[in-house]
Structure 1
């Protein structure tokens, strides 16, 4: 998967407010589904579905500890978005600089 398509998949996954809440909650540490559900206004089945989307996008990962699955943010889960934002910002700044130079030359 290219960096841009990875970034788009991540942004699509984070487009849902509940998935953003889950991501923010996991930013404070790994949790099992039940504890996540206790902290959110949705039930375990809905949390599991959101986690699946976030995991498919590479934002979260899970590890098995005994009979529990702990979910945490993936170490490089947002790296593709960071690269995409940097490239987009660099392109915008370059375009602005060309515009200013062309205006100054006129």
Structure 2
């Protein structure tokens, strides 16, 4: 059993109040590929980039002049994130359907 499988057998790491941090390799990722993603972010004027795997942060990067303590207006980004998470729930069988009558807002 490898390190990733051993870690998966531990107590849940997310959601908890504080995120745990790990190395990409400990979570089955390649650091060299993440370096390419960071470079891509520089060419696309990213403010920051965070990647979590198995509930642990493996990459937390900020692009000058931004830092982790500068608030950002997310505009419509939340809709994209929530819809992606709902699609993952549906794909994984956690959500049985996109159509639930009680889920629609009342008028």
| Same fold by TM-score greater than 0.5 | no
Higher relative contact order, chain-length normalized (CA < 8 Å, sep 6+): 1
What range is the shorter-chain TM-score in?
under 0.3
Q: Which has the higher helix share?
A: 1
Q: TM-score, normalised by structure 2?
A: 0.26
Bigger radius of gyration, 1 or 2? 1
